[in-house]
Every structure is written in structure tokens, then in C-alpha cells.
Structure 1
Amino acid sequence: MVQLTRDLSNRRFWGGLAIHGLASLGFLSVSLSLFDLFSPDTLGKFGMPEILVIPAIALVYALWKSWPYPVEQQYSSPDTKVTLVTGDLFDQNVNVVVGMSDFFDIEIPHIIAENSVQGQLLSRVYRNDVSALRADIESALSNVTPVEVGFAKPGNSDRYALGTVATIRRHRTHYFCVAYTNMDASNNVSTSIGILWESLEKLWGEVRSRSNGEPVAVPIIGLGQSGLSNILPIQDALRFLILSFMFASRQRRVCEELIIVVRPQDEKRIDMLEIQDFLQSLKQS
């Protein structure tokens, strides 16, 4: 209800309502003028109640075209769908993307924040069983050679190339753990737009090969401690994520649906109508 109220007070909604309303009113007026040309005595028989039907029809059409529907878009080329939902990433009952550092650390709270996606993966999926999660990640990385071994820092000491994806399977769900941040000796993380783009490219390739086309849920990447929030505000981060997925999908289909999960506390900072327009603009003719 809060989102609907915000959308209805959005200038984009009222601008669209005005444009569609005037366009439909103009179309109906021209149609009636043509009708009057061939049947000049018919329209003169109508009074005020009947005449008001015309602007009413125009208003209904404008509302239908401008109403803030759920933010989603189906594409035919490629055959995929992008959906935005507000809620909990781990309640989507689909495969999940988890952003990590190049050390794939999982220990909370001194290295990884408890409320981070990695922290939730440990607490909610693995029930705080650090050993089990560490074993699954090590197994997923068993055929990947670290770029640095024995780095002096708390936690894991083997560094992997940025963009490395450790895919683990737990309770019939794939968790695509992608390294898109660089961690230093003090466990501070950083990244760049270029690194994020390359990491997402590798992520979509892994999703393509391991998900069997099933939907995948992803948070808005880059909002946490990565240092991108000042460069890539949430609205831009959303567009960046969508563009990355669509470019990869046009090369070869990644999966049947990308579900972008927005945290409830972040929803108020997003212009959903603008994102819907952006999704629609990516449709190929």
C-alpha cells in the first residue's frame, strides 16, 4: 500500500496519465469528427450525459496505461523475464546469488557482518554451521587455483581471482557465491564498476551452465561495504545489474527469470515506475 501511494504521487505517473489521456481523447475526437462527416445528423442528438462518455473512456484508457503494475518485464528475444520484488532474498524458493570477497570469508561477526547476505547464508541456510559452509565452498573451489596463498590477514588466507564463482548446492538450491570485492589485510573490502561488470559477466556464465535454466534471485549488488554506493546509487545499481543480465542473455540465454530482491528498507529509495520504463525500453523490436 505504501508503494502504491508513492507511485500514485510520482510525477512520472501523472505525466503518463496526461499523455495517454490527451492522446486517447484526441483519437476519439478525430474518430467522432469522421463519423460526423458521414453521418452529420447523428451526433447532434446526444446530450451532455452521452458526451461525457468520451472523456470518461479516455480517462479509463489513460489509467490502464499508466497504472503502477508490478515491476516485471517478459522478453521474447532472449526468452527471459526480469522481476523486481520487495522482500527476503532467502524466501524466494529459487537459486540465489551471494556476493563475496576474493577470500570467500564466512566468519561472523568480526570479518563478515551478520546482516550481510553472506552472514544470512551462514545463519539461515547452514544454521551457523561454519564448518559445513566452509567445506562446501572449498569443494566448489577445489579445481580453482588461488592467485595468492598464505596472505597475512584474519580469516581465510588464500585469495582467488575477482569474478571467481563458487557454486554450492544445499537443499536442492544453488547458491552462486561470486567474488566481486577485494579484501585487504584489515578485512576491508573495495571494488570498482569495471570489476563488478566483469564479475557479473562470469556470474551469468556460471548461472547459465549450472542452473538448468531455473530462475535465480539476486540482491542489489554494491550497496554494502564495497564502496560503490557513492559512485553507483541504488537506482543506477539496479539499472547496472539489469543491463549486465540482459547483455549476457542476448549472447545466450542465462535463465528463465532474474528476480531482483529489494530489501524493504531500500524500497523507498527506488523509483519503481522509472525502473519499469527502463525494463520496457530494453525490449527488442
Structure 2
Amino acid sequence: MKFSALRDIKRPRFWRLFATHTFSCLGAVAFLFGLYDVLRPNAISKVNFPFAAAIAVFSIIYASVRSYPRPVEEAYTKPNTMIRIVEGDLFSQPENVVVGMTTTFDTQIPHIINPGSIQGQFLAKVYANDVAALDSDLARGLISVTPSGHIQKPGKGIRYPIGTIVTIRQARKHYFCVAYGEMDAANQAQATMDGIWRSLENLWREVRAHTNGDPVAIPVVGGGLARLSQIFPAQDSIRFIAMSFMFASRHTRVCDRLDIVVRPQDVERLDMLELQAFLTSLKEI
């Protein structure tokens, strides 16, 4: 049994599911025995203790199988798509990748961009820390975008609108660089829920235009340097992303599958059973 499964078994939702499945199984057995009693009166009274115990054990096994934590994913038919929650490294995923940035598209590490951030990993793993190459690709993608202003600070000073996206193609993959946060004069990144929502709306349109339906991997957005982690924890961020994706997909299909990639160190704070229930509930929107 994986440690993550042990963690989920400790949560109240697991035990509520376990109890529900146990009693539903016992209820089904009782109903069948009731029908049997109508056909064979007094036969039920002859059932001995070992047989009754076997029924109880069967109900417990059935409930355990039904309630045991599984990979968190949900397939949808309207439209035909899927959402998965994946633990791992964003840049080891085979899909197209979403990279969060700020409206100034700063790239300089370590004083402006944290090397451990998604953007820092993007620079290291995709560009081999070649800042000039990344800046060149970003500049090429921003040629047709009208700046929204200028800020005096170390690093880049030209601001672009929230939700600006630069799509970069490298080694058969698309990297969608999404500006969902803003830098202040001290190079402190900040984001708002409204800005993230608008950025996601733009992202799904860009994904439609470039991927031909191929799957996309996105990190949990809004935490870390975006200064939203206290009021917008990972659990809420995942629901936010999934809901935005499904709303967009209901309008026009976005892609075959969306993988929301969670860092291993963040998984322990998530209630996977609750997230599975939320993904299932999206079938109704």
C-alpha cells in the first residue's frame, strides 16, 4: 500500500465512503434474503452464525475495495476529455506544459526569479540556463502584444496585460508561458484570483489553437511567489483550474486531457478523495 493511500485512509471521507458501501451491501443482502424468505418461509431462521459472519466479512471486503483510494482522475463525455491529478515533476511529463510568469516576463535568476520556481526550472531544464535564448523566444512572442505600462525596478520594466501568453515550441512540445502575476518595484510577485481566472480563460484558447487536442500539463498555480498560498491553497487551486477547464471545454473542447501536476512535497496537504469527488461533480456542470 502506498503511503499516499495510507494518508487518504485516515481521512473522514474514506470512512464515510466505507460505511456507506458496507451498509449498502448489507442492505442489498438483506433485501435478497427477504425475497427468499417469501419463497421459502422460515428458511432464514435456520441461517447459522458462520454464514452470517461470512456475509459481514463479504460486506467489509466489498466496501474496502469500493472505498480504497485510486488515482485521482475523471473522464467526461460532454465533451470527450479527461482531468487527472498527477504527482511528480512538471517537466518530466510528456505533454505540452504550462509555465506561470509575471507580466514583465522577467527571467533573471537568482535575484529576480527563484531557481526553484516553475519558471526557474523551465529555464534550467528546457533552456539549460541560457537566459538569452529564453529572452529571445519571449521577445519574439511579444512582438504583436501591446504593452500595458512600465515599472521602474531591477530587471525588465515593460509590463504586458494580465493573461498575456507566449507559446514556445521546443522539441515537439509547446510551452505556454502565462502571465498571471505582476511584479512590484521590489520584484515581489503578486497575483489575484480574478487575474488567474482571466489568464486561464486565455490559456484554454491558446491551447485549442496550438495543440490539436494533445494533452496539457499544468502546475498548481497561485501559491509560492504569487503570494496567494495563504488564501488560495493547493486544494482550492486545483479545483479552480479544473472548473475553469471544464467551463471552457463545455463551450468548445480544449484538449484530450488536462494533467494537474502536484509537487511531491505538496501532496501530503491534499485530500485526494475530496478532489476525486469534486472532479466527479464536474460532470453535472
Alignment TM-score, normalising by the size of structure 1: 0.95
Match of 1:163 in 2: 163
Deviations 1:100-138 (A, max 9, x none): 000111110011000011111111110011111111111
Match of 2:268 in 1: 268
CA apart distance, 1:148:
2.3
Match of 1:103 in 2: 104
Match of 1:249 in 2: 249
CA apart distance, 1:185:
2.1
CA apart distance, 1:49:
2.8
CA apart distance, 1:44:
5.0
Letter in 2 for 1:202: N
Match of 2:280 in 1: 280
Unaligned runs of 5+ in 2: none
Letter in 2 for 1:138: A
Letter in 2 for 1:116: S
CA distance in 1, matches of 2:58, 2:152: 71
Letter in 1 for 2:271: D
CA distance in 1, matches of 2:183, 2:108: 14
Match of 1:31 in 2: 32
Taking the TM superposition and a 5 Å limit, the aligned residue runs for 1:1-285 are 1-40=2-41, 42-44=43-45, 46-148=47-149, 151-284=151-284
Deviations 1:137-173 (A, max 9, x none): 1112222121225x43222222111000000011111
Letter in 1 for 2:76: Y
- SS of the equivalent of 1:80 reads strand
CA apart distance, 1:189:
1.6
CA distance in 1, matches of 2:47, 2:17: 31
Aligned residues: 284
Deviations 1:40-95 (A, max 9, x none): 25445543333333223322221222110111111111211111111100011111
Contact kept? 1:77, 1:284, Cα under 8 Å: no
- SS of the equivalent of 1:34 reads helix
Deviations 1:205-235 (A, max 9, x none): 1111111111111110011111211221221
Deviations 1:221-256 (A, max 9, x none): 011111211221221111111111111111111111
Superposition RMSD on alpha carbons, in Å?
A: 1.5
Point out 4+ residue stretches in structure 1 off by more than 6 angstroms: none
Contact kept? 1:174, 1:211, Cα under 8 Å: yes
- SS of the equivalent of 2:61 reads helix
- SS of the equivalent of 2:182 reads strand
Deviates more, 1:184-193 or 1:213-222: 184-193
CA distance in 1, matches of 2:131, 2:75: 39
